[in-house]
Amino acid sequence: MDETDGSHYEMEAGATISPPLLPDGGLCILCEGWAALSITTGFGRQILRIMLPGDLCSHIFRKRAFSGLSISALTPVSLFSVTARDLDDLLTRRPDLGTTLEDGAWDEGKAFATLLSVVGLGSGRERVAYLVLSILSRLGELPVRKTSYPFPLRRQDIAAVVGMSEVHVSRVMAEYRDGGIMHLDHRTLYVDNPVALECIGHVSKSLAK
């Protein structure tokens, strides 16, 4: 895709990616930055997916906005948006993109289903480890190295993804830090023992794309 195919938008951290930017029948892609797809109910806020560069935004709001569903920017983000008509023209010129979009939607659904399973069955340590490893996998960082990674999620964000309280997440992260496995500091993730982290998170080749 080039700049003539659609429109580009820049948004600051904390901004809401609203349906007007997500054309019905068209396409909107997160190009840079991190965002969170969330649903707010009477039970509170649950993050359904951490969105990374290359993820699709527009299919989430097909036809009409789902009550309580929103996408918020966790960092400054860049979006690329294409209308339905321009998307048809683009797919005519680039039929290979259709397969890429279908594969992307399938991968998102598979990742969401797996995360639900981990959240429902895993311990607190396993939930947090799986979340970290699944994000690193999507960023192309598997196998994990003994190094540092940009990681803009706050403890409350992690809690909202894995279905735990912020206090519980803080306790789990303290256990990881004291055990010399990993720790967070100023939005940077430091992995001190990647073997132990992968063992706790039950990482397998199926995680890597």
Give the CATH number, domain containing residue 179: 1.10.10.10
Domain closes at, from 63, 97, 131:
97
- pLDDT bracket for residue 48 (50, 70, 90): confident
- Domain tally, the chain: 2
Does residue 146 share a domain with residue 184?
yes
Do 132 and 91 share a structural domain?
no
113 domain-assigned: no
Q: Give the Cα separation of 163 and 119 in Å (integer).
A: 7
pLDDT of res. 199: 92
How much is the pTM?
A: 0.78
| Confidence class for position 112, pLDDT limits 50, 70, 90 | low
Residue ranges making up the domain that contains 49: 3-97
How many alpha carbons lie under 13 Å from residue 72 in its C-beta half-sphere? 16
Residue 116 lies in a domain: no
| Residue 80 belongs to some domain of the structure | yes
Domain shared by 71 and 24, yes or no? yes
Look at residue 50 and tell me if it is in a domain: yes
Mean pLDDT for 163-169 is: 93
User: Is 159 a member of any domain?
Assistant: yes
Which residue, 78, 22, 20, is CA-closest to 54?
Answer: 78
Residue with tokens 């809690």: 159
Taking the C-alpha atoms of residue 131 and residue 115, their distance in angstroms, rounded to an integer, is 8
The answer to whether residues 199 and 127 belong to one domain is yes
Q: Are residues 61 and 135 in the same domain?
A: no
Instruction: Please tell me the least confidently modeled range out of 43-47, 78-82, 107-111, 138-142.
Output: 107-111
User: Is 23 among the domain residues?
Assistant: yes
What whole-number distance in Å separates Cα of residue 126 and Cα of residue 162? 10
Question: Tell me, what CATH number does 53's domain have?
Answer: 2.60.120.10
Q: Is residue 185 part of a domain?
A: yes
SS3 27: strand
Answer yes or no: is 102 within a domain: no
Cα 188 to Cα 59: distance, rounded to the nearest angstrom: 31
Question: Cα separation of 79 and 99, whole Å?
Answer: 21
